[in-house]
Amino acid sequence: MENILDQAYSADNFRQQGHALIDMMADYLERTTSEKNKEKTIQWQPPTDQLATWQEDAQQPLADPLELFQDAIARSIHLHNPRYMGHQTTPPLPVTVLSSAVSALLNQGQAVYEMGMVGNSLEKIMSEYLARKLGFGSEASGFLTSGGSLGNLTALLAARAAVSNVWNEGHQEGQRWAVLVSEEAHYCIDRAARIMGLGTEGIIKVPVNERYQMRTDQLEQYYQQAISEGKQVLCVVGCACTTSTGSYDNLEAIAAFCQKYNLWFHVDGAHGAPAAFSPKYKHLVKGIEQADSVVVDYHKMMMTPSLSTAVIFKRSGDSYKTFAQRAQYLWAEQPGEEEWYNGGKRSVECTKNMSILNVYTILRTYGETIFRENIDRLYGLATTFAAQVRTNPAFELAYEPECNIVCLRYLTECDTNSFNQQIRQLLLEEGDFFIVQTILKGQTYLRVSLMNPLTTERELQELLGNIEQKAAYLLAHSH
């Protein structure tokens, strides 16, 4: 009798299950993207109920893994549904599901060349390709990390390595590092600074203007204040764009400031840097080519599965200074040598997924035009949606959107913050639409991220109508 281990590696079983799974996923894709789609975007369950469901499932025998996959699909949020307008996660292109399967099967680590011959080569090609699109010169290059949080931490560590030897000597007594960043920056910048030991005092948040962009005219004031307090500013972080509002900082102004004081200039372009692919919107990232480092999430506006983040350095050599160390069981060469083919020399990660195959597959299959079309469609859709909101007296628009993120709220004489939170909760529980919420200057707004290129004006109009229905319900039951 064949043992379980040998059976688990059976190519015939895999072929049979694989064909069935592709059919299942194709059916799911067809259902969720069809114009006749009536499925909910999310089947909402409170955390305790969801946990109980899976705890019960874990106790049952499983005859066919396809049953498990079907259940997981049914109970998950459906990003490909045109009514998904929530978090900044893309509905991945179907071809990347196939490339992800290949990557999972091969299971290549990338710390050393022999374990990542393909992955390290593709990372070099694609990071330099992206660097050219962002406007960098021939010295620029980079690599991939697992997500924007790790990417931004890596860049800030590089900024520190450029002016100190903390990596080898540790923090010196009396040494107080700091970073300047917009108060609207993603929380991972704050977290990265804390991980580096900068503490609360080392995170200097510069106020934003009415469009939620960094007040670059106040950089001098905050910088001089830091110096007077005995701090050494490592870098200034520009947002392209902010998470809550999708606002682009004035990157040219930040670059000029950094050049004045010889500071590292980092751009968190996780969401918005791919605007560089669009002739219509690339002005939003003007000045990004002057940055010392840039982070770009392929899994946001470039339609790949999570997690896949490029860290681009203006000077490729800077990327090797951050984690220079010996590991004789991995590298025979000296730790300081610049070896693009040994990925572990530049990254926090040793073993990591070959996610670069996903974006490389998109580029080889469809060309870079698909990135431009995605930016143009989604950014343009946000402009259309903002116009719909602006002409409806029941709503207030928080600002004029620059990208595909729109913040709005329903106007009421009740507690507006609580009222909009209740609207969002009702939308969540109903499950037809999925949006999120954010707080801007102490006020709660409904936040719509248009990540799905299959969303149309029709769904946006339906969303506003649905919100008005929820508001009417709340008002009718408020007494």
Residue 452: CATH number of its domain: 3.90.1150.170
Q: Identify whether residues 314 and 244 lie together within a single domain.
A: yes
Answer whether residue 472 is part of any domain. yes
pLDDT at position 325, please? 46
Give strand pairing partners of 333: none
Q: How many CB atoms lie within 10 A of CB 414?
A: 15
pLDDT at position 170, please? 81
Task: List the structure tokens of 59.
Answer: 């106790």
Answer whether residue 216 is part of any domain. yes
pLDDT at position 327, please? 45
Q: Identify whether residues 314 and 384 lie together within a single domain.
A: no
pLDDT at position 476, please? 92
Phi-psi region of 246 (alpha: psi -120 to 50; beta: other; left: phi over 0): left
Q: Which one of 337, 366, 395 terminates a domain? A: 366
| Euclidean distance between CA atoms 166 and 196, whole angstroms | 10
Q: Domain of 466?
A: 14-42+77-92+373-479
pLDDT at position 349, please? 86
pLDDT at position 334, please? 52
Q: Identify whether residues 294 and 408 lie together within a single domain.
A: no
Residue whose entry in the numeric block shows the structure tokens 């200057």:
441
Residues 6+ away with beta carbon under 8 Å from 440: 212, 244, 245, 398, 407
At residue 288, φ and ψ (nearest 5 deg) are -65, -25
At residue 441, φ and ψ (nearest 5 deg) are 50, 40
Task: List the structure tokens of 192.
Answer: 């990265």
Q: Identify whether residues 152 and 276 lie together within a single domain.
A: yes
Q: Identify whether residues 203 and 231 lie together within a single domain.
A: yes
pLDDT at position 328, please? 45
Torsion angle (degrees, nearest 10) of CA 158, 237, 91, 372 = -100
In tens, the pLDDT along 159-215 reads 999 988 888 788 787 789 999 999 999 999 999 999 999 999 999 999 999 999 999
Give strand pairing partners of 240: 248
pLDDT at position 376, please? 98
- DSSP tag of 236: E
C-alpha neighbours within 13 Å on the C-beta side of residue 425: 10
Q: Identify whether residues 178 and 319 lie together within a single domain.
A: yes
Q: Which one of 366, 394, 409 terminates a domain? A: 366
| Euclidean distance between CA atoms 81 and 126, whole angstroms | 30
Q: Identify whether residues 83 and 113 lie together within a single domain.
A: no
| Euclidean distance between CA atoms 448 and 462, whole angstroms | 13
Residues found in the chain: 479
Question: Among positive and negative, which fits the CA dihedral 132, 138, 140, 141?
Answer: positive
* Ranges under pLDDT 50 in the chain: 325-331, 335-336
Q: Identify whether residues 360 and 430 lie together within a single domain.
A: no
Residue 228: CATH number of its domain: 3.40.640.10
Residues 6+ away with beta carbon under 8 Å from 409: 395, 396, 398, 416, 420, 443, 444, 445, 446
Task: List the structure tokens of 6.
Answer: 């040998």
In tens, the pLDDT along 226-251 reads 999 999 999 999 999 999 999 999 99
The total number of structural domains in the chain stands at 2
**What is the H or E stretch that residue 238 is in?**
strand 232-239
C-alpha neighbours within 13 Å on the C-beta side of residue 305: 17
Q: Which one of 366, 386, 406 terminates a domain? A: 366
